[in-house]
Amino acid sequence: MLERPNFNENGEQIICEINGKSPEMLMNIRVKRLARGESFSLLDENNETAFLILSGEALICWEGTEKAMKRESPFERKPYCLHVPKCTQVEITAFQNSEIIIQQTDNDIIFTPVFYSPEDCVYREFGKDQWGGTGQRIVSTVFDISNAPYSNMVLGEVYNLPGKWSSYPPHYHPQPEVYYYKFDRPEGFGASFSGDEVYKSTDGSFLAIKGGNAHQQVVAPGFTMYYVWLIRHLDGEPWDNTRIYPNEYEWLAE
């Protein structure tokens, strides 16, 4: 399912909810807009939470620690992200108009909060020498099972270059996944595949991918497509770079 929800009266774009919208994603995901000078606080007694800045400038505070986050747009490869366990008070104050994507899921493990800055996130280029360069994309993982084994979530970013494909070849995994899209121009668009369905991706839209659905993306020439990818591990079956290829596409992976 692909959707582009409006921001509500609280300045929030609701993507999915554990006990509400798209519950099969097993996550709460929303995008929070903060006007300059506005503050926002969150204390969740059941869920771990990650806060990734998409744009703007803000101060994020937790347990007596404060860090600045500044990013002109998602296309500036400078991700700042705070990841905290349940029962952790977090407060964000915006110095400029800001957008922050918030990811949550249930987790009883109490871990030490981690603040990720640009130097912690390595961007890697894939596909440059495959399929005539049509699968070239730039990918960064903020955290996954390798550096956050205590978490039930995965969070990363992809830069889908103009006219090219990403999340390619078509692949699937048992874990649900969400893509949240931004484009370098507001009229930008692409195509998003989930199972047998094809959708038009636009700025501020998201794709909710059910576990087991094959998925892949392409963007129109002239536009760069950015998306946050968010995965929920399954109990006893974590996502560990899991990519299963339908039989007819295995040759592409080889």
> Does the pLDDT at position 1 exceed 90?
no
pLDDT tens profile 105-146 = 999 999 999 999 999 998 999 988 889 999 999 999 999 999
CB 251 within 8 A of CB 175: no
Lowest mean pLDDT among 15-24, 44-53, 117-126, 194-203: 117-126
User: Percent of the chain, pLDDT > 70?
Assistant: 100
Residue 21: C-alpha distances to residues 18, 28, 119, 201 (Å):
7, 9, 35, 19
For residues 210-223, give the mean pLDDT. 97
CB 92 within 8 A of CB 34: yes
Omega before 238 within 30 of 0, i.e. cis: no
**CA 189 – CA 183 distance, rounded (Å):** 7
CB 59 within 8 A of CB 93: yes
> What is the CATH classification number for the domain harbouring 78?
2.60.120.10
Beta bridge partners of 212: none
CB 18 within 8 A of CB 106: yes
CB 157 within 8 A of CB 228: yes
Handedness of CA 196, 246, 157, 32 (dihedral sign): positive
Per-residue confidence (pLDDT) for residue 165, from 0 to 100: 97
Per-residue confidence (pLDDT) for residue 74, from 0 to 100: 97
Per-residue confidence (pLDDT) for residue 129, from 0 to 100: 87
Q: How confident is the prediction for the chain on average, in pLDDT?
A: 97
For residues 235-253, give the mean pLDDT. 95
Work out the pLDDT band at 253, boundaries 50, 70, 90.
confident
**CA 28 – CA 18 distance, rounded (Å):** 6
In the DSSP assignment, the letter for residue 203 is T
- Name the residue type at position 231: I
For residues 215-224, give the mean pLDDT. 98
Task: Work out the angle at residue 231's Cα, subtended by the Cα atoms of residues 122 and 213, and round it to the nearest 5 degrees.
Answer: 120
Q: Reduce the DSSP state of residue 176 to 3 states and report it.
A: coil
Element (H, E) at 145: none
Work out the pLDDT band at 254, boundaries 50, 70, 90.
confident
Beta bridge partners of 21: none
Q: How many domains does the chain have?
A: 1
Work out the pLDDT band at 215, boundaries 50, 70, 90.
very high
pLDDT tens profile 224-238 = 999 999 999 999 999
Lowest mean pLDDT among 10-24, 121-135, 159-173, 232-246: 121-135
Q: Reduce the DSSP state of residue 250 to 3 states and report it.
A: helix
pLDDT tens profile 74-104 = 999 999 999 999 999 999 999 999 999 999 9
For residues 38-48, give the mean pLDDT. 98
Per-residue confidence (pLDDT) for residue 102, from 0 to 100: 98
Q: What's the pTM value of the predicted model, to 2 decimals? A: 0.97
> Does the pLDDT at position 66 exceed 90?
yes
Task: Work out the angle at residue 49's Cα, subtended by the Cα atoms of residues 47 and 52, and round it to the nearest 5 degrees.
Answer: 160
Per-residue confidence (pLDDT) for residue 166, from 0 to 100: 96
Per-residue confidence (pLDDT) for residue 210, from 0 to 100: 97
CB 85 within 8 A of CB 107: yes
Residue 57: C-alpha distances to residues 17, 36, 80, 99, 147 (Å):
27, 9, 10, 9, 26
Other beta carbons within 10 Å of 42: 17
Task: Tell me the residue range of the domain where 8 lies.
Answer: 2-253
For residues 170-199, give the mean pLDDT. 97
CB 208 within 8 A of CB 189: no
